[in-house]
Amino acid sequence: MADELLETIPEFRKDTDVKPQDEGFMDWTALTHVPTARNRREFLIIVGVAVVVVATIELLIRAFQVPNYVLPAPSSIFNALVNNFETLLPHIGVTLQELVGGYLIGATIGILLAGVVTQVPLVEKIITPYIILLVTTPMLALVPLLVLRLGFGLEPRIVAVALAVGPMVMINSATGFRRTDLAKIALARSYGANTLQIFYKIRFPIALPMIIVGLMVGGIFGLLTAVGAEMVGGGAGLGNRLVYYSSLARMEAFFATILIIALIGITMYVIFFLIGKKWASWEA
Amino acid sequence: MAAEAQEISTAAVVSSRPTSRLVIDKATKIYQTTTGPLLALDSFSAEIHEGEFVCVVGPSGCGKTTLLWALSGLHPLTSGVVMLDGTPVKGPRPEIGMVFQEANLLPWRNLMKNILFPFEIKRLDATRYQARIQHLLETVGLAGFENKFPRELSGGMQQRASLVRCLSFDPSVILLDEPFGALDAFTRDEMNLLLLKLWSEQRKTIVFITHSIVEALFMADRILVMTPRPGRLAREVMVDLPRPRTLDMQSSPYFVETAREIKELIYASIKK
């Protein structure tokens, strides 16, 4: 509450003030502060090394005649990707629907819950153990039960994704909202700001970098849960295809599916990386 | 017509609202801490006149900031009252502008958006103050830096920006809480001279908190010396130095002697 100011001894630079660098529960800076190419030359080197690595794998697999069912060559994976793309397309659609649907539900609830709960420290302390329980328990474990309740459609998997994403977003956002900077709140108050203005002009911007980290990690967990839930029991989706192709020992198609899943994950990561660069770079 | 408009906008740039008068009457503040009640400010009374530059000086933890927060309406007093132009201060008042320890800029906003922050909160039309803001930016030497983010500015530049932010909406009282304490000595002198220049131009009522006796003597018309724990008014010192102040005044016999007296007064109160 804004009124925490009223009886706080104004000694900001002491322990009352949480500085952005010290984080509470989780700090995924390893994910948000990756080194990137500084110039064209570095970029070319990075890409060049990647090309060499793939080419070497290709050559080694051919030279030693590694059987397909052990590890298919990159070229045959790529061929399989092109040849099977049309049959995989509806499965990509299914996975994306589960992911996006569950993600939107989970992330929205997670951010809102974090924003509300951090305003009342006691309530936050009461619900945090449950959130940690949800974060640490793999939501995949619930999928058989969800299927029983919700049937074989998309619903059980959307719920599983939401359950995986929500707590992860919530716990990171809560860390962000807890970073109260009393000096900045006092600044806003000195201009007559009300509680709502303090929330969206001060607290929310301060929390934003951690919210973005939560959204990024939540996305990764969401994808994991969506694919896993499809493997556990589902008629469609990329996870379902993984089980299907491996049962037929069609390893090129199997790896092509993994490649698609990886691309979805990387795309999500890049999106949030760019969002973070735009909206949270002030912190770096 | 055009000449008249010109006159109005010039007026908005330099002159301003009438200045204000602050009366502090038996201000007392007790904080409830986990180790028991803490008397931070004990029956502090003083009067600050229109357009006066008053420094409050005292050691750390003597309740200087508590006093300033009470003046600004950020903290309620346990007992006693602060009157601003005849009405008690019970919460933040639009006539008051604050400058905080360290610049306290919002790091996610660029310089111009930081300066416009008070206008957003107060829902004031910033376009009406544009000439004023531009004039202030030029006076403090920050014109051309409007799109820079705080981390791209030096400590001195950040604090100059926070001065502009404070003066931009034309408050009649300015409360400064050790604003230049984190700056190096040279930048600090520079900032002090800049503040005096702005004050001579805008004639605000100023309460300036510092733990530097030299800074207080250099800036103020009058110094309120405080004793620590509980914060009490130890003495008022009228500063008998002409204006405009110059840095060489700091080595005059009067300056050195008065600084020594205040120092002794504070040390004596700490020993007790």
- pLDDT confidence of residue A152: 79
Separation of first and last alpha carbons in chain B = 67
Q: Is B237 helix (H, G, I), strand (E, B) or coil?
A: strand
**How far apart are the C-alpha atoms of B77 and B62, rounded to whole Å?**
16
The domain spans of chain B are 20-93+216-272
Identify the residue among A13, A181, A191, A201 best suited for mutation to test binding to B, counting B beta carbons within 10 A and taking the highest: A191
The minimal CB distance from A7 to the residues B31, B122, B149 is found for B31
CA A212 to chain centre: 9
Which residues make beta-bridge pairs with B224? Answer: B56, B236
What integer pLDDT is reported at residue A6 of this predicted model? 63
For the entire predicted model, the pTM comes to: 0.81
Residues of chain A neighbouring B107 (CB-CB closer than 8 A): 282-283
Residue A238: C-alpha distances to residues A150, A158, A260, A261, B227 (Å): 20, 14, 8, 7, 73
Whether residues B106 and A208 touch (CB distance < 8 A) is answered with no
Strands B222-227 and B79-84: unpaired
Q: How much is the pLDDT for B267?
A: 86
Dist. CA A106–CA B253, nearest whole Å: 71
C-alpha B226: how far from chain center: 17
Per-residue pLDDT averaged across B188-192, rounded? 91
Q: What values do phi and psi take at B193, rounded to 5?
A: -65, -40
Would you say domain B20-93+216-272 falls under CATH 3.40.50.300?
Answer: yes
Distance from CA of B218 to the nearest CA of A (A): 26
For residue B114, what pLDDT is reported?
A: 95
In chain B, residues with a C-beta closer than 8 Å to the C-beta of A10 are 65-66, 69, 74-75
Instruction: Output the DSSP codes for B132-189.
Output: HHHHHHHHTT-TT-TT--GGGS-HHHHHHHHHHHHHHT--SEEEEESTTTTS-HHHHH
Q: Are A124 and A1 in contact (CB under 8 A)?
A: no
What residue numbers bound the domain in which A248 lies? 74-283
H or E segment and range at residue B37: strand B36-48
Judge whether B120 is closer than 8 Å to chain A, CB to CB: yes
Q: What is the pLDDT of residue A110?
A: 95
CATH of the domain at A243: 1.10.3720.10
pLDDT class for B33, splitting at 50, 70, 90? confident
Instruction: Note down pLDDT in tens along chain A; length 284 residues.
Output: 445 666 666 655 443 344 444 333 334 455 666 777 778 888 899 999 999 999 999 999 999 998 888 889 999 999 999 999 999 999 999 999 999 999 999 999 999 999 999 888 899 899 989 999 988 888 888 888 888 888 878 999 999 999 999 999 999 999 999 888 888 999 999 999 999 999 989 999 999 989 999 999 999 999 999 999 999 877 899 999 999 999 998 999 999 999 999 999 999 999 998 888 888 877 75
Put simply, whether A201 touches B (Cβ < 8 Å) is yes
Residue A8 located in a structural domain: no
Structure-token match 């409830």, residue found: B32
Question: Alpha-carbon distance B52 to B203, whole Å?
Answer: 8
Q: Which of B104, B121, B149 sits opposite A191 (nearest CB)?
A: B121
Number of domains in chain A: 1
Query: Is residue B230 over pLDDT 80?
Result: yes
How many CB pairs below 8 A link A and B?
73
Q: How far apart are CA A230 and CA A27, in angstroms?
A: 30
pLDDT at B225: 93
Q: Percent of chain B scored above 70 by pLDDT? A: 93
Which chain A residues are within 8 Å of B106, Cβ to Cβ? 184, 187, 202, 205
What is the structure's pLDDT at B2? 45
Phi, then psi, of A123 in degrees rounded to 5: -60, -40
Tokens, residue A101: 């649907």
User: Nearest CA to CA, how far is A7 from chain B (Å)?
Assistant: 7
Interface with chain B: mutation pick from A19, A181, A190, A281, highest number of B CBs within 10 Å: A190
Domain assignment present for A220: yes
Residue B199 has pLDDT above 70, yes or no: yes
Judged by a CB distance cut-off of 8 A, whether residue B159 touches chain A is no
